[in-house]
Structure 1
Amino acid sequence: MNVAIIGCGYVGCGVARYWQQKMTFVVTATTTTPERVPTLQAVAQRVEIVKGNDPDLLHTVLKNQDVVLLSVGAKSADVYEETYLHTAQTLVSVLKQIPSVQQLIYTGSYAVYGDRNGAWVDEESLVAPANQNGQILSDTEQILLSASNEFLNVCILRLGGIYGPDRELVKIFGRFAGTTRPGNGKDTTNWIHLDDIIAAIEFARRRRLQGIYNLVNDDHFTTKELLERVCETHNLSKVIWDSSQESKRPYNVNVSNKKIKDAGYKLIHPQMMF
């Protein structure tokens, strides 16, 4: 099977390694960063430097592919539109000319739900992005879903916060140890381990999933609980909370993972790994 990964960063690289080694697929990986080519050559048979808004190069990459994984990540907040929206628009226009592609999988974000004051949401809940970048992510989903037809399945995985090897929780949050944080830390968090992202992408490919699926684990710690566990586990100084300052975190929501579990996916790491 020929598989192409558009945007081969932390997640894409992990999937490329899995597909090449475990499934013996022919993997094509793309990057916008020339310096990453040697790294990607270790996990993919073919590596191309491609910008998502270049239809000619994208067409060359996707020709004769069976499955496409779109796993781009914006390097900064001011390039969200170019990274997500423009890539999705270009990809959808190119896919119309490539009938070999039967499955498109996109790693999106639960950020599209916005701030629900801790309420539960599932895939049927209306999106309510809390900022412009969240709106761009929502628009990107709609553009990609519009490509779906009887020959092409489109699966959107709305990921929680990503952690895993080389991106452990202590690496993410250890710098907050002994500091004072704004708010009370009672906002809800949603996380997913890299192992589960890789496995769920393969599950979506194998089952040819169509539509939107949340991908988060079973734990829904508050930020305060999460930081306390990190600090306790690694013998770090406690975080102090100052409720007189307003928290700037825009994603206080409980994300349900029931749909993907009902589809048959079993989490590798249902609980957080500290």
Structure 2
Amino acid sequence: MSAPSVLIVGCGDVGGRLAAQLQAANWQVSGLRRNVAQLPAGVAGIAADLSNAACPSAWPTVAPDYLVYCVAASQHDEAGYRAAYVDGLRHVLGWLGEKGQQPRRLLFVSSSSVYAQKDGEWVDETSPTEPEGYSGRLMLEAEQVALNSAVPASIVRLTGIYGPGREWLLTQVRQGYRVTETPPLYGNRIHAEDAAGLLAYLLQADREGRVLEDCYIGVDDAPAPLFEVVAWLREYLGVTQWSEQERVRRTGSKRCRNARARSLGWVPRYPSYQEGYAAILAGRD
């Protein structure tokens, strides 16, 4: 059997980690981003601006077996989200159609922002999606573009991604970050390496002929109240001072389940924030 090929559109942090994992499994990997000089070694680069409807000159002449749409909005407003997730995806699907190419499957990386639950409810892939903000609404719109395309698609709704370079909470804790304890503000997390690992697992599962669902939530095993995470990090870091004011009262509070991904056989490398943050602070991953 020849080596499978994948095109990762938006080959940044998570996309780059995915590329490295797939290369280690002998996949042929192409990556599309504005600056291809930042792609991992060995990834075939496709320089493109997703806001431009014209097909990039470096677009592959042979259809990739798989397509992963894993972009990050460079402009964090409604126009920026529409350009990155809705219009950009439509452009890529248009380029496939223009070239007569049909990948075996599309993985569209979405977000748990499509869920508006905020009272600590448990959420899974069947839960109502009634987002109140533009980010969630546009993610839902982009999900429908993916699911209604000519390419079989699965949506992967990632939760709060953390990892090296994504250390906002660690910085806040070191400054004496205070958070609300009652009612508990539940948060959902996934280490960047596990986010990439879930995508790699789904691609390999499809290649093996296993049936994929149309949606998966990417989250670790242990959604936890923010005050609990902060308390653990304070003890781990040896922080004793408190800031004078409570910093935030986050509006979102829900607990996302990973049972569907788990039932397929995926196992997170970092099952909770404790293992994940310990690895970061030890300089691993």
Q: How does 1:238-253 map to 2 (within 5 A)?
A: 239=242, 247=249, 249-253=250-254
Q: How does 1:112-261 map to 2 (within 5 A)?
A: 112-147=114-149, 152-168=151-167, 172-176=169-173, 177-181=175-179, 184=182, 186-208=184-206, 209-237=212-240, 239=242, 247=249, 249-261=250-262
CA pair 57-236 structure 1, distance change in 2 beyond 3 A:
farther
Alignment coverage as a number of residue pairs: 262
Partner residue of 1:101? 103
CA pair 188-31 structure 1, distance change in 2 beyond 3 A:
same
CA pair 232-174 structure 1, distance change in 2 beyond 3 A:
farther
Question: What's the TM-score once normalised by structure 1's chain length?
Answer: 0.85
Distance 1:199 1:88 in 2: 22
Deviation at 1:51, TM superposition (A): 1.6
Question: 1:16 is matched with which residue: 14, 19, 36?
Answer: 19
2:59 pairs with 1:56: no
Partner residue of 2:67? 68
Contact 2:11 2:70 in 1 (8 A): yes
Kindly provide the amino acid, as one letter, of the partner of residue 197 in structure 2: A
Question: What's the TM-score once normalised by structure 2's chain length?
Answer: 0.82
Distance 1:88 1:239 in 2: 45
Deviation at 1:63, TM superposition (A): 4.2
Q: Secondary structure of 1:106's match? A: strand
2:1 pairs with 1:6: no
Distance 1:269 1:182 in 2: 26
Contact 2:55 2:95 in 1 (8 A): no
Partner residue of 2:76? 77
Contact 2:198 2:266 in 1 (8 A): yes
Kindly provide the amino acid, as one letter, of the partner of residue 230 in structure 2: L
Q: Deviations over 1:171-205 (max 9, x none)?
A: 53323432445785721110111222222111111
Q: CA RMSD in A?
A: 2.5
- Where structure 2 has 5 or more consecutive residues not aligned to the other structure, the ranges are 207-211, 278-285
CA pair 99-163 structure 1, distance change in 2 beyond 3 A:
same
Deviation at 1:59, TM superposition (A): 8.3
Deviates more, 1:234-243 or 1:155-164: 234-243
